Amino acid sequence: MKLTQDQIDRFHETGYLMLPNLFSTEEADVLRQGAEEVYAMERKEVVRELDGVSPRTAFAAHCYHEAFRRLGRHPRLIEPVMQLVDGPVYMHQYKVNAKVAFDGAVWQWHQDYGTWSRDDLMPEARAMNIALFVDEATEFNGPLWIIPGSHREGVYEAGHDIETTSYPLWTLDKAKVSELAERGGIYSAKGDAGSVLMFHSNIVHASSPNLSPWGRTIVYLSLCHVENHIRRFKRPDWVAHRDFAPIEPLPDDCLLAPMTPFAEDGSGIQVAAE
């Protein structure tokens, strides 16, 4: 799948691009089922909220669940990012973020490349997120908030917050967020299940807690140009991956092809059309 010049220009201008309904409801259903299966697993990669029960995020689900493995090689996600970073990409990080009904907690204001540069020594912001909405994201269930244009000035100063949630994050202070939001406003990324949001790795973003009775699962692929791979291996390899081989996209119908059990060597990937 290729972005148009207009979409590329809008991405560079604002730092994000929304692609509504890029995946069908049938494809989103496959992933919703997959997310339930993953959150039911007792694995170190499945991080819970501070209550110790509610799933917050499942890291590296492409390494242990077949549907998420296929999504990690999906051409509708991989190809637009290859276009924007201008070359082959590897998977730097993979998250299935839950934000469960009533108990899903905040993600504080931050920049992803702030973490990738400080913790992982990724050389440049030649990496980005592409997020697929597994559930509809509404004003109620803690949609992602983005400050348009906040990707243009590099990495801002940040403090390492290890207390607010169960997951440590380099977060921006209130004065900087206020200044940026005064300038750019805040975009609330709402959309149907199956919609896709691409955002620059320096964009300032956050999301509020989910007080609604509706869950909000989003899958984030953080893709990096292969030459821009991380130089420091401080975080676990299931948080910041070390397989820098270029991702070969699968056929477009891979999520709807018969789902085989996950196999370590990739032999479970059977697709209808090669």
Piece in contact with Mn ion (CB under 5 A), picked from 2-10, 44-52, 105-113, 153-161: 105-113
Q: Does 190 bind ligand SIN (CB under 6 A)?
A: no
230 binds, among Mn ion, ligand SIN, none (CB under 5 to 8 A by kind): none
Residue in 81, 201, 84 with CA at minimum distance from that of residue 146: 201
Strand order from edge to edge, sheet including 16-19: 16-19, 196-200, 127-133, 218-225, 89-97, 55-59, 46-48
Local structure of residue 144 (DSSP, 8 states): E
Piece in contact with Mn ion (CB under 5 A), picked from 62-70, 107-115, 187-195, 238-246: 107-115
Q: Does 221 bind ligand SIN (CB under 6 A)?
A: no
Name the residue number minimizing CB distance to Mn ion. 112
Span between the terminal Cα atoms of the chain, in Å: 16
Name the residue number minimizing CB distance to ligand SIN. 207
Tell me how far apart the alpha carbons of residues 213 and 209 are, in angstroms, rounded to a whole number: 12
Instruction: Kindly tell me the burial class for residue 217, based on how many C-beta atoms sit within 10 Å of its own C-beta (0-12, 13-18, 19 or more).
Output: buried
Q: Are 41 and 270 in contact (CB under 8 A)?
A: no
218 binds, among Mn ion, ligand SIN, none (CB under 5 to 8 A by kind): ligand SIN
Site for ligand SIN in 87-126 (CB under 6 A): 97, 99, 107
CB atoms within 10 A of CB 55: 24
Q: Does 195 bind ligand SIN (CB under 6 A)?
A: no
Q: Are 136 and 28 in contact (CB under 8 A)?
A: no
Site for Mn ion in 31-60 (CB under 5 A): none
Q: Are 11 and 17 in contact (CB under 8 A)?
A: yes
Closer to ligand SIN by Cβ: residue 207 or 228: 207
Site for ligand SIN in 125-154 (CB under 6 A): 144
Residue in 206, 69, 198, 86 with CA at minimum distance from that of residue 133: 198
Q: Does 112 bind Mn ion (CB under 5 A)?
A: yes
Closer to ligand SIN by Cβ: residue 97 or 117: 97
Q: Does 218 bind ligand SIN (CB under 6 A)?
A: yes
Q: Are 135 and 31 in contact (CB under 8 A)?
A: no
Give the one residue of 111, 117, 141, 207 binding ligand SIN; rule: CB under 6 A.
207
Closer to ligand SIN by Cβ: residue 14 or 141: 141
CB of 264 to ligand SIN, least distance (A): 27
Closer to Mn ion by Cβ: residue 103 or 112: 112
> Per the structure block, which two tokens stand in for 146?
């983005």
Local structure of residue 104 (DSSP, 8 states): B
Site string for Mn ion, 63-102 (x = CB under 5 A): ----------------------------------------
What's the one-letter identity of residue 125?
A
Q: Note the residues at the interface with ligand SIN (CB under 6 A).
A: 97, 99, 107, 144, 205, 207, 218, 220
Query: Which residues sit at the interface with Mn ion, rule CB under 5 A?
Result: 112
